[in-house]
């Protein structure tokens, strides 16, 4: 290793350690500013080379730079990366042994360590401050500085104390704050908090020209996701979900469908999490399914797709998470599955939060919904959110709305009405209020404020509220209206709007698209699913009869008709594919599928059938945790009614779950319970009935057996019968 002191030229250092011939964007200016001992505020999107802005000066300067970082995983990742470049870096955190902790400190005292990563919580400790006073501190870098704004207010108050603590050092230490995401509001908050309002700001455009943004209606997303990933075999990707349960479920479904995937969420222990992270980084798995906890600072340049199974909680989160795709500047596809219902669900989750927080979160959520439902260039909207104006003609069809343009309408009148209304309200009200006035709402506040007298009151009563919302959003995105960056989001006029009001001209806006309608259109009609091969179906029926005879069982016990229809649609050719057929499951497939597979093989050859280019998606079914619990309890011979009580389910729900478990191929021994609750004679009668019946229909059974047999009894015995005969 070359002694760093010998490096005098930043270009030489750039080449030697990072392997680049030249700096990108504003990196060089930033590096020079930091090396001159000045504060700096760096706003750069993910993937633009943000870390290098402090890493390079740290390498070149004599002493140790303190890097404040929010997460242990992030510190570890950065330190590993530095080590791989041959640079001495370390971190101090609570997960370390005392020996390791002291060793890192010694390296700093000996001026060997170039960078020391800590969380803000470490910074506030007296012991740590004493140590910092004893080392040659070059500068302080606050990485992911938006945490000051985002987290500092509630659960990580130390984030807001960085400046006061540093001032206790009694010497001037330059601060470089870095963030990959900052709306104008967050930006101001960071500057004020770190007292760097007077320092230069280095802002890089947030445009990620290589990312393709697409919003799809969330109708039946799992098969779409499986299909997409299979089509993008060998490409790395991330699937984001909001709940841990969903993460586990989707990871499992992907694996069931032959896609190597691991879950990642805060409920996993740290060892498992870091294992899964490494597996993804080293490409032992193709996909990581994660809650938002994953990815902060994880620098995998070749993530080719980011799929949002759930709608993110804000546009900012969406930008941040999609930003993990295509960091190398190559392909990056971002697909979000959206339905308005998810917004409603998220809103419900917030109901226990304090009012102010709830209002703020709700506001962010509705911005996200508006973004999804809008027909305006996605890139334009995103950049607008970060305070950049953007000409959508530059998008180059790299978003769904530019690739498949939505219809425009002449909105001159509406624009005029909306702008005039905002003018009359003197810029002191937000979206909903403006819409209320335009639509002539009965709202008490509007009455009390005397706004029923305005010339625009009720002028747009024929236009639906959500249409108005879409119009207003477009007026904001197109720089007619300016939305305040404070919490209230008041609307006021831009110079462009003032000019328009004086001298109106034709304005075209994108027609409101009804996403709930789109969701319906995208749903697959029921008839479509039922198209099966009638010739094969007949042959399957014949074979089923033979097999049933051999086993002395009624045919429906082998495979039900609905299963046969699906078989005659999908032509399964292996046991595994059979397991994917509804109502079959592993047990039945193993026991009965073989002769069917032979038949289908012969049939496919005979008629030269090309099997549909389909992706057989195996789903795990809902509430697998409940099912697991039921299986365990039945194994321990716990009465079903007690299981129901404990799980707060109805008895009927438990029976249905039991049936689902059995139909999916798992044998359950129910005798212990049935013998307690069903009379011996009745049990035999019901059992005999199913042995000779044509179908397993409960209503038929009830009719045939008569009123002395309760539906529960029949259903329970049927489940037992299935478990004993079909598995
Ligand atoms: Zn676009």
Between the CA of 187 and the centroid of ligand 1 the distance, in Å, is 26
| Res. 152: pLDDT tops 80 | no
**Do residue 195 and residue 234 come from a single domain?**
no
Same domain? 14 vs 130: yes
Ligand 1 midpoint to CA 49 (Å): 24
- Residue 548 alpha carbon to ligand 1 centre in Å: 59
For residue 326, report the distance from its CA to the centre of ligand 1, in Å: 17
- Both tokens of 209, joined, read 């020209």
Residues 39 and 145 grouped into a single domain: yes
pLDDT of 623 reads 56
- The answer on 263 and 141 residing in a single domain is no
Number of domains in the chain: 5
pLDDT at 664 over 80: no
State residue 406's pLDDT score.
83
Q: What is the mean pLDDT of residues 491-495?
A: 92
Kindly state the average pLDDT of the residues 96-114. 93
Taking the C-alpha atoms of residue 687 and residue 75, their distance in angstroms, rounded to an integer, is 64
Three-state DSSP class for residue 235: coil
Higher-pLDDT residue of 382 and 514 is 382
Q: State the burial class of residue 147 (Cβ atoms within 10 Å of its Cβ: 0-12, 13-18, 19+).
A: buried
Tens-digit pLDDT profile for residues 559-569: 888 788 888 88
Question: How far does residue 396's CA lie from ligand 1's centre (Å)?
Answer: 7
Q: pLDDT tens digits for 467-490?
A: 898 898 889 888 899 887 665 678
Would you place residue 525 in the very low, low, confident or very high pLDDT band (cuts 50, 70, 90)?
very low
- Split at pLDDT 50, 70, 90, the class of 301 is confident
Overall size of the chain counted in residues: 727
460 C-alpha vs ligand 1 centroid, how far in Å? 30
Tell how far the Cα of 477 is from the centroid of ligand 1, in angstroms: 13
The stretch 328-338 carries a mean pLDDT of: 92
Residue 618 lies in a domain: no
Beta bridge partners of 179: 43
**Encoded tokens for 546:** 């033979």
Q: What are phi and psi of 607, to 5 degrees?
A: -100, 10
**pLDDT of 3 above 50:** no
Same-domain status, 78 and 42 = yes
**pLDDT higher at 328 or 56:** 56
| Ligand 1 center to 408 CA (angstroms) | 15
Cα–ligand 1 centroid distance for 647 (angstroms): 49
The answer to whether the CB of 56 falls within 8 A of the CB of 18 is yes
- Which domain CATH number covers 598? 1.10.150.80
Of the pLDDT bands very low, low, confident and very high (cuts 50, 70, 90), residue 586 is: confident
Q: How far is the CA of 380 from the centre of ligand 1 (A)?
A: 7
CA of 19 to the centre of ligand 1 (A): 34
Q: What is the pLDDT of residue 485?
A: 64
How crowded is the C-beta side of 264, counted as CA atoms within 13 Å?
25
Interval between CA 274 and ligand 1 midpoint (Å): 36
Three-state SS sequence of 81-148: HHHHCCCCEEECCCCCCHHHHHHHHHHHHCCCCCEEEECHHHHCCHHHHHHHHCCCEEEEEECCCCHH
Distance in Å, CA 402 to ligand 1 centroid: 4
CA of 636 to the centre of ligand 1 (A): 59
The CATH number given to whatever domain includes residue 508 is 1.10.10.10
In a 10 Å sphere around its CB, with 0-12 CB exposed, 13-18 middle and 19+ buried, how is residue 134 labelled? Answer: exposed
DSSP 419-482: HHHHHHTTT---HHHHHHHHTT---HHHHHTTGGGSTTTTTTTTS-HHHHHHHHHHHHHTTSEE
The Cα 382–Cα 371 span in angstroms is 8
CATH (domain of 698): 1.10.10.1390
Residues flanking ion ligand 1, Cβ below 5 Å: 377, 379, 395, 399, 402
Residues near 660 by beta carbon (within 8 Å), at least 6 away in sequence: 621, 627
Give how far Cα 171 sits from Cα of 25, 53, 116, 138, 261, Å.
32, 23, 19, 11, 50
> Does residue 617 fall inside a structural domain?
no
Average pLDDT in the 680-687 region?
A: 89
> 413-454: per-residue pLDDT in tens?
999 999 999 999 998 898 889 999 999 998 899 999 999 999
Inter-CA distances, 466 with 358, 365, 374, 436, 595, Å: 21, 15, 11, 11, 58
CA of 302 relative to ligand 1 center, distance in Å: 23
| CA atoms within 13 A of residue 684's CA, in its CB half-sphere | 2
621 CA to centre of ligand 1 in angstroms:
37
Q: What's residue 488's pLDDT? A: 67
Residue with tokens 């600072």: 297
Share of the chain above pLDDT 90, in %: 37
Q: Which of 1-15, 128-142, 694-708 has the lowest mean pLDDT?
A: 1-15
The burial of 212, by beta-carbon neighbours within 10 Å (0-12 exposed, 13-18 middle, 19 or more buried), is given as buried
**CA of 222: how far to CAs of 219, 304, 339, 344, in Å?**
9, 19, 14, 21
Give the model's confidence band at 238: pLDDT under 50 very low, under 70 low, under 90 confident, else very high.
very high
Give SS3 for 300: coil
Residue 467 lies in a domain: yes
Is residue 599's pLDDT more than 60? yes
pLDDT exceeds cutoff 90 at 552 = no
- 268 pLDDT above the threshold of 60: yes
- Split at pLDDT 50, 70, 90, the class of 7 is low
Q: How confident is the model at residue 523 (pLDDT cuts 50, 70, 90)?
A: low
547 and 458, same domain (yes or no): no
Distance 228 CA to ligand 1 centre (A): 22
- Residue 520 falls within a domain, yes or no? no
Residue 219 lies in a domain: yes
Rounded-to-integer distance, Cα 197 and Cα 192, Å: 6
* Single residue among 564, 580, 606 that ends a domain in this structure: 606
Which sign, positive or negative, has the C-alpha torsion 84, 85, 90, 93?
Answer: negative
Radius of gyration of the chain from Cα atoms? Answer: 32
pLDDT-based confidence at residue 223 (cuts at 50, 70, 90) = confident
Same domain, 139 and 277: no
Alpha carbon of 416 to ligand 1 centroid (Å) = 26
Q: Report CA(215)–ligand 1 centroid distance (Å).
A: 12
Q: How far apart are the CA of 392 and the centre of ligand 1, in A?
A: 6
Please provide the average confidence, as pLDDT, over all residues in the chain.
86
pLDDT at 476: 85
Average pLDDT over residues 364-388: 89
Q: Ligand 1 centre and the CA of 405: distance in Å?
A: 9
pLDDT, tens digit (0-9, with 9 covering 90-100), for 406-420: 888 999 999 999 999
Residue 537 included in any domain? yes
Centroid of ligand 1 to alpha carbon of 391 (angstroms): 9
Per the listing, tokens 């339905």 go with: 339
pLDDT at 300: 82
How far apart are the CA of 180 and the centre of ligand 1, in A? 21
Residue among 235, 221, 346 at smallest CA distance from 292: 346
Ligand 1 centroid–CA 129 distance in Å is 50
Average pLDDT rounded to a whole number, residues 648-665: 83
**pLDDT for 527-538, tens place per residue?**
343 467 778 888
- CA 343 to centroid of ligand 1, rounded, Å: 24
**Which of 39-43, 158-162, 528-532, 638-642 shows the highest mean pLDDT?**
39-43
d(CA 236, CA 222): 18
Residue 619: pLDDT band (50, 70, 90) is low
pLDDT of residue 521: 60
pLDDT number for residue 528? 40
CA of 542 to the centre of ligand 1 (A): 56
Provide the pLDDT for residue 151: 64
Same domain, 586 and 532: yes
Please give the helix or strand (H or E) that residue 42 lies within, else none.
strand 40-43
- pLDDT at 622 > cutoff 70: no
Distance 37 CA to ligand 1 centre (A): 41
Q: Identify whether residues 413 and 339 lie together within a single domain.
A: no
- 473 falls within a domain: yes
d(CA 320, ligand 1 centre) in Å:
18
User: Of 482, 512, 542, which one is at a domain's C-terminal end?
Assistant: 512
Measured in Å, residue 401 CA sits from the centre of ligand 1 at 6
Give me the pLDDT at residue 4, please: 44
Judge whether residue 35 has pLDDT over 70. Answer: yes
Distance from the alpha carbon of residue 81 to the mean position of ligand 1, in angstroms: 35
Which CATH number characterizes residue 316's domain? Answer: 3.40.50.300
Residue 212 CA, ligand 1 centroid: distance in Å: 9
Q: How far is the CA of 385 from the centre of ligand 1 (A)?
A: 14
Report how far ligand 1's centroid is from the alpha carbon of 377 (Å): 4
What's the Cα-to-Cα distance from 16 to each of 4, 28, 55, 163, rounded to whole Å? 11, 16, 13, 34
User: What pLDDT is stored for residue 1 in this prediction?
Assistant: 39
Q: Where is the domain boundary, 317, 343, 369?
A: 343
Could you tell me the pTM of the whole model? 0.61
pLDDT at 155 over 70: no
| Rounded-to-integer distance, Cα 552 and Cα 90, Å | 71
φ/ψ bin of 666: left (φ > 0), alpha (ψ from -120 to 50), beta (otherwise): beta
CA of 234 to the centre of ligand 1 (A): 28
**251 exposure class (CB count in 10 Å sphere: 0-12, 13-18, 19+):** buried
Torsion of CA 705, 710, 714, 716, to 10 degrees: -160
Judged against a pLDDT cut of 60, whether residue 11 lies above it is answered with yes
Same domain for 666 and 575, yes or no, is: no
Distance 176 CA to ligand 1 centre (A): 34
Q: What are phi and psi of 207, to 5 degrees?
A: -65, 125
CA 511, CA 630: separation in Å to the nearest integer? Answer: 51
Q: How remote is the CA of residue 389 from the centroid of ligand 1, in Å?
A: 13
Q: Is residue 698 part of a domain?
A: yes
> Please, which pLDDT band fits residue 5 given cuts at 50, 70 and 90?
very low
Same domain, 546 and 678: no
* Residue 59 near residue 259 (C-beta atoms within 8 A): no
Query: What is the C-alpha to C-alpha distance for residues 125 and 103, in angstroms, rounded to an integer?
Result: 18
Residue range(s) defining the domain that contains residue 635: 624-725
- Residue 526: the pLDDT is 38
Residue 383 Cα to ligand 1 midpoint, Å, equals: 11
Structure-token pair, residue 75: 């510190």
231 and 128 co-located in one domain: no
Instruction: Mark 686-724 as b/e (b = at least 16 C-beta within 10 Å).
Output: bbebbeebeeeeeeebbeebeeebeeebbbbbbbbbbbe
- H/E stretch holding 261 reads strand 261-264
Structure tokens at 107: 């390296």
């Amino acid at each position: 290793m070359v002694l760093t002191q010998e490096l005098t030229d930043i270009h030489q250092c750039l080449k030697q350690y990072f392997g680049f011939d030249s700096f990108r964007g504003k990196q060089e200016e930033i590096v020079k500013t930091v090396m001159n001992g000045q504060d700096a505020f760096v706003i750069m999107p993910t993937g633009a080379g943000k870390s290098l802005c402090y890493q390079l000066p740290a390498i070149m300067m004599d002493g140790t730079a303190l890097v404040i970082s929010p997460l242990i995983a992030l510190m570890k990742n950065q330190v590993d990366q530095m080590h791989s470049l041959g640079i001495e870096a370390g971190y101090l955190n609570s997960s370390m042994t005392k020996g390791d902790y002291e060793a890192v400190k010694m390296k700093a005292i000996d001026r060997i360590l170039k960078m020391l990563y800590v969380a803000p919580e470490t910074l506030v400790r007296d012991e740590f401050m004493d140590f910092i006073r004893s080392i040659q501190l070059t500068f302080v870098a606050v990485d992911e500085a938006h945490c000051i704004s985002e987290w500092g207010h509630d659960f990580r108050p130390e984030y807001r104390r960085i400046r006061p603590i540093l001032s206790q050092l009694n010497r001037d230490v330059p601060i470089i704050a870095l963030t990959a995401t900052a709306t104008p509001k967050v930006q101001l908050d960071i500057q004020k908090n770190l007292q760097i309002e007077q320092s230069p700001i280095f802002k890089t455009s947030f445009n990620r020209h290589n990312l393709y943004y697409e919003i799809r209606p969330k109708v039946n997303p799992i098969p779409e996701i499986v299909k997409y990933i299979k089509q993008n075999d060998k490409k790395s990707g991330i699937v984001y979900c909001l709940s841990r349960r969903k993460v586990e479920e989707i990871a499992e479904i992907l694996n069931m469908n032959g896609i190597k995937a691991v879950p990642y969420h805060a409920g996993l222990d740290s060892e498992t999490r870091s294992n899964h992270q490494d597996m993804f980084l080293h490409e032992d798995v193709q996909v990581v399914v994660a809650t938002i906890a994953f990815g902060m600072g994880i620098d995998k340049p070749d993530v080719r797709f980011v799929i949002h199974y759930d709608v993110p909680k804000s546009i900012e989160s969406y930008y941040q998470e999609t930003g993990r795709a295509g960091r190398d500047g190559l392909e990056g596809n971002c697909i979000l599955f959206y339905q308005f219902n998810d917004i409603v669900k998220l809103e419900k989750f917030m109901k226990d939060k304090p009012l102010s927080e709830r209002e703020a979160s709700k506001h962010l959520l509705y911005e996200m919904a508006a973004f999804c439902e809008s027909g305006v260039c996605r890139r334009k909207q995103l950049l607008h959110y970060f305070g950049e104006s953007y000409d959508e003609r530059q998008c180059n069809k790299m978003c769904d709305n530019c690739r498949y343009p939505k219809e425009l309408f002449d909105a001159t009148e509406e624009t005029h009405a909306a702008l005039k209304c905002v003018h009359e309200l003197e810029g002191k009200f937000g979206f909903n209020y403006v819409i209320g006035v335009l639509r002539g709402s009965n709202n008490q506040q509007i009455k009390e404020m005397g706004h029923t007298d305005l010339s625009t009151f009720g002028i747009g009563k024929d236009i639906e509220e959500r249409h108005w919302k879409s119009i207003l959003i477009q007026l904001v995105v197109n720089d007619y209206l300016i939305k305040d960056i404070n919490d209230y989001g008041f609307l006021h006029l831009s110079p462009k709007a003032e000019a328009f009001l004086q001298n109106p001209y034709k304005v075209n806006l994108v027609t409101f698209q009804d996403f709930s309608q789109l969701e319906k259109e995208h749903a697959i009609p029921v008839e479509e699913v039922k198209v099966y091969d009638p010739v094969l179906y007949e042959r399957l029926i014949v074979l089923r009869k033979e097999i049933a005879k051999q086993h002395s069982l009624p045919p429906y016990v082998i495979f039900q008709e609905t299963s046969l229809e699906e078989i005659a649609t999908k032509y399964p050719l292996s046991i595994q594919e059979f397991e994917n057929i509804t109502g079959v499951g592993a047990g039945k497939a193993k026991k009965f599928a073989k002769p069917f597979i032979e038949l289908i093989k012969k049939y496919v050859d005979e008629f030269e059938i090309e099997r549909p280019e389909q992706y057989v998606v195996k789903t795990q079914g809902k509430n697998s945790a409940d099912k697991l619990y039921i299986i365990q309890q039945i194994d321990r011979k716990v009465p079903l009614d007690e299981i129901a009580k404990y799980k707060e389910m109805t008895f009927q729900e438990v029976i249905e779950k039991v049936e689902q478990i059995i139909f999916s191929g798992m044998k359950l021994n129910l005798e212990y319970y049935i013998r307690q609750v069903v009379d011996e004679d009745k049990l035999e009668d019901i059992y005999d009935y199913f042995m000779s019946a044509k179908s397993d229909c409960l209503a038929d059974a009830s009719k045939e057996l008569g009123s002395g047999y309760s539906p529960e009894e029949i259903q329970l015995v049927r489940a037992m019968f299935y478990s004993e005969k079909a598995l």
